[in-house]
A and B are shown apart, each in its own frame.
Chain A
Amino acid sequence: MMKRKRNSKALRAGCKGKREASEEVAHFGTSITDVPEPIFKNIVLRLPIRAIIMCKCVCKPWRRVISDPQFAKMHFELAQPCPLVRTLGNARVARMLHLIEPSDVDNYDSFSDSRFAKHLRLNYGRDFYLKLDTKLKIPLRNAEQMPQPHNVSDTKSRLSSERGFKKRCVKVRPKEHKFQIVNSCKGFVCLSEPSSNNPLVVCNPVTGEYLNLPGTDESDNNTEKDMVSCGFGLCEETNRYKVVKMIDQGYFESVYRCPITGEKSYKKTLVEVHTLGTGTWRRIGYAPYYHSKLKFTTYLNGFLHWISLDFGKRILIYCFDLGREEFKSVQLPPLGDYFDPIIRWNNQCNTSLGVLRGSLCLCTWSGYDSLDIWVMKKYGEPKTWTKIVSTYSLCVERWPYCVYQPISFEENKGLLMFLSPKSAFIYYQPENYGRWKYFRILDVKTKYEAIAHVPSLISLKDVLNGDGMEILNINLSEYKLLGETKAIYLQEVIREAETDTDHSPSEGDYD
């Protein structure tokens, strides 16, 4: 009885839809589907990722154009790095990554500066929020250990499924199912096990595909904190993706001299490399000594980089050549004598590494209590380290003192940086009198992390050339986790007074 009703309802809905659509089609002379493909591609390439995925679901011709690997390549060439935001809360598995697209920032920027917005803010105290709409998913660790949906005999859940809700909320333990993000390279993200940082998965959050990395005997058994440092990157000569991991194995019997720093140490760190598409990890030797945990994994031009603190609290940039599979160090910019890499009150390193405008970038606090951003203009030539921003020379308000992570600095746009301890963003426009905007993620309970990611539609299948590796899709799972539908908002914090009034218009000035 119920089945028949449901079918007829669907039929009626389908027919109605068709009639309506055909009426609408008859109404217009030319249709957008008559527009030739190159123009259509031109239009779609201007859209943010969220809109492109919507367009994919509109009709068959559009789906065909957007699913084409050539189109994905064209799109990736034009794409810019965006922050990928994730909650760090311990109670959550944090499967959702929120992407802040450049068009969101542009729209907000132009809106919040408008006279209307200022008027509302002054007279009605209305605050504006930027809603992070683009949500991408990463897989669950140990997904096979998840409780199966149809096995749960909860009456509540049965009722909700009869009412037509597709998925039910399932409670999971983050300890068993959470992933940690290592780094992003060419649109793909590498995920690792949180406690040991052992790399487990490479995925493309936009298309929802992921690939499990093979396990090794050595690293599977360890549960010690941060025993592994790793990175994921593309070897440009052979066009193969590789994952590198450095496993802490204790100590050597005799002294080992580090080829990079020249220091003598007993620490033994095994290096293994896995090329995506092969089935195993290859041992390539021992890593040069590094004192503290390697942080800020950055991929650039076929090299992986990390920052490490030395005995004498000096900063070192470690670099791994993915082609030759060997380590070397990168010479630092001239940071000055008063430079101190440690934030005294929390013993954190105040220097970070990233990529801005295609060049390696180092953000650090100078001895004069100001933020310096150095960029190596020509890769491989340390003489070309140039300081592109220094808040010391800016006459406006002091920037907050914490760790800054560079996200992007595109042409004609501002510099976007993420302040990890405060879960906030700073958007700085050098042309606009050096003014900066401060956006805070609206959440009092937990902190957030962000990485710079270039969203890409390129499929893992194309990248691996069909090497027989099993590529799985995240979205085929049926679960919905608690708190996943919660929206994240960015709130602009309007600072009360500008210290240097010559550079900025006062609040009463509407021009």
Chain B
Amino acid sequence: MLYAIFGVQTFLQRDLELRNLSLFNRRKGFSYLFQKSLLFPFSISFFLSQGFIYLFLLSSRKSSSPAAIMSSSSPKMITLQSSDGETFEVEEAVAMESRTIKHMIEDDCANSSIPIPNVTSNTLTKVIEYCKKHVEAKSDEEGLKSFDAEFMKIDKDTLYDLLMASNYLDIKSLLDLGCQTVADKIKGKNPEEIRKEFGIKNDFTPEEEEEIRKESPWVFD
């Protein structure tokens, strides 16, 4: 198989050389172009083919040994354990979205499973779902936006749990998204509506309410 590939590769190289030679010959000197035209496509095609060969070999043999040139082809799995004992296996890249876990991995504390005491399995599932999507579709801005909008269609309990989990795990984008969602729920409402929305008790005495009313009268207009 290797020889076949090598054969194809040399054939392609020769073809490229011939083509380039005929092009350049018209304009410049022979020797300079000969070297340039040979070296450039040769080196590129050489490295590309080597890379493809390695990938091909790895995928066919399913070995987990570290590759020489392309190192991201074999994903390292990290185990996370939620507060209620459930374990989750995630790819390293996905786990690294959390800066807390990233520091743990870098400090070499992540050999066995990482315990995450403050986060329940339900919340951890959601967090992993978010991180996975953001790692997979990193460049697709529009897709991420619609995913985020759908992701945030959750009830308030899950939202608060997500906020606290993303704060503990230090996942900035998820924390920002959660905070913005809550902020959007607060915008445009007067205090009574905010209390109703979030189930907050009005703990002001009538005198205090009067004082507040005086301080910012247009709030109650």
Whether chain B is bound by chain A comes out as yes
Are A21 and B201 in touch, CB under 8 angstroms? yes
On whether A29 and B191 interact (CB within 8 A), knowing A17-B202, A59-B204, A485-B221, the answer reads: no
Contact of B219 among A29, A31, A34, A57 (CB under 8 A): A57
CB distance from B127 to the nearest CB of A (A): 15
Q: Which residue of B lies closest to A27 (CB)?
A: B199
**A83–B221 Cα gap in the complex (Å)?**
22
A78 within 8 Å of B (CB atoms): no
Provide the residues of chain B in CB contact with A10, threshold 8 Å.
206
Contacts of A43 in B (CB 8 A): 179, 182-183, 186
Q: Given known contacts A54-B186, A475-B215, what 16 new A-B pairs fall within 8 Å (CB)?
A: A18-B201, A21-B202, A30-B160, A30-B161, A42-B179, A46-B179, A48-B187, A51-B189, A53-B219, A54-B189, A56-B216, A57-B212, A57-B219, A59-B200, A59-B201, A60-B204
A31:B199 contact, CB within 8 angstroms:
yes
Complex Cα spacing A22 to B163, Å: 24
SS class, residues of chain B in contact with chain A: helix
- Contact B187 A34, beta carbon cutoff 8 Å: no
Alpha-carbon separation in the docked complex, A36 to B164 (Å):
8
> What residues on A are CB-neighbors of B59 within 8 Å?
none
Distance in Å from the Cβ of B178 to the closest Cβ of chain A? 8
Say if the beta carbon of B203 comes within 8 Å of chain A.
Answer: yes
User: Closest CB-CB distance, B120 to chain A, in whole Å?
Assistant: 11
Nearest 9 pairs between A and B by C-beta? A24-B199, A46-B183, A21-B201, A57-B191, A30-B160, A32-B198, A43-B179, A42-B179, A58-B191
How many angstroms from the CA of A38 to the CA of B214 in the assembled complex?
29
Once the chains are docked, how many angstroms separate the CA of A353 from the CA of B217? 35
- Chain A residue contacts of B203, Cβ below 8 A: 59-60
Check: B107 CB closer than 8 A to any chain A CB: no
- CB pair A42–B157 under 8 Å, yes or no, is no
Distance, CA A307 to CA B203, complexed state (A)? 53
A358 to chain B, nearest CB (A): 24
Structural contact, B214 and A475, CB atoms closer than 8 A: yes
**Cα(A161)–Cα(B20), bound, Å:** 95
Residue-wise interface mask of B (133-165) relative to A, using a CB-CB cutoff of 8 A (1 in contact, 0 not): 000000000000000000000001100110110
B217 touches A475 (CB 8 A): yes
Q: Decide if B164 touches A54 in the complex (CB within 8 Å).
A: no
Residues B167-221 near A (CB distance < 8 A): 167, 175-176, 179-180, 182-183, 186-191, 194-196, 198-204, 206, 212, 214-219, 221
> How far apart are the CA atoms of A24 and B160 in the complex, in Å?
16
> What 0/1 pattern do residues 126 to 140 of A give for CB contact below 8 A with B?
000000000101000
Within 8 A of B (CB), among A87-104: 103
Q: Mark A460-491, 1 if CB is under 8 A from B, else 0.
A: 00000000000001011000000001000000
Interface residues of A in 1-46 (CB under 8 A from B): 10, 14, 17-18, 21-22, 24-25, 27-36, 38-39, 42-44, 46
Q: Is the interface of A mostly helix, strand, loop or mixed?
A: helix
B179 to chain A, nearest CB (A): 5
Within the complex, which residue of A22, A58, A476 is in contact with B195, where a contact is CB–CB below 8 Å?
A58
Give the docked Cα–Cα distance between A485 and B221 (Å).
Answer: 9
Give the chain B neighbours of A473 by CB distance below 8 A: 215
Complex contacts, B156 vs chain A, CB 8 Å:
28, 30, 32
Q: Which residue on A lies nearest to B215, using beta carbons?
A: A475
Contacts of A27 in B (CB 8 A): 199
A32, B160: Cβ atoms under 8 Å?
yes
Give complex CA distance A60, B202 in Å.
Answer: 8
Is B216 a contact partner of A31 (Cβ separation < 8 A)? no
CB pair A135–B186 under 8 Å, yes or no, is no
Does A302 sit at the interface, judged by CB under 8 A? no
Q: Does A208 contact B (CB under 8 A)?
A: yes
In the complex the two chains form, is A103's CB within 8 Å of B187's CB? yes
**A32 contacts across to B, CB distance below 8 A:** 156, 160, 182, 198-200
A475 to B215, alpha carbons, bound, how many Å? 6
Q: How far, in angstroms, from A56 to B221 measured CA to CA in the complex?
A: 16
Residues of A within 8 A of B163 (CB): 35, 39
Q: Nearest A residue to B160 by beta-carbon distance?
A: A30
Specify the chain B residue showing the minimal Cβ separation from A48.
B187
**A55 sits at the interface (CB 8 A):** yes
Determine if B206 and A14 form an interchain contact, defined as CB atoms under 8 angstroms apart: yes
CB distance from A423 to the nearest CB of B (A): 23
CA distance A28 to B159 in the complex (A): 12
Residue numbers in A under 8 Å from B196 (CB-CB): 24
Q: From residue B79, how far is it (CB to closest CB) to chain A in Å?
A: 27
Residue of B whose beta carbon sits closest to that of A10:
B206
* Residue A74 is within 8 A (CB to CB) of chain B in the complex: no
Q: What are the residues of chain B within 8 A of A35 when measuring CB–CB?
A: 160, 163-164
Partner among A24, A34, A55 whose Cβ is within 8 Å of the Cβ of B194 = A55
CA distance in complex: A28, B201 (Å):
12
Q: Which of B167, B186, B212 contacts A36 (CB 8 A)?
A: B167
Chain A: which residue is nearest B181 at the CB level? A43
- Residue of B with least CB distance to A103: B187
B217 nearest CB neighbor, chain A only: A475
Q: Judge whether A47 is part of the interface by a CB distance below 8 angstroms.
A: yes
B186 touching A29 by the CB < 8 A rule?
no
Residues on the A chain within 8 Å of B200, using CB: 21, 25, 31-33, 58-59, 62
In angstroms, how far is the closest chain B Cβ from the Cβ of A91? Answer: 22
A329 CB to closest chain B CB (Å) equals: 43
Whether the pair A208, B183 counts as a contact (CB closer than 8 A) is no
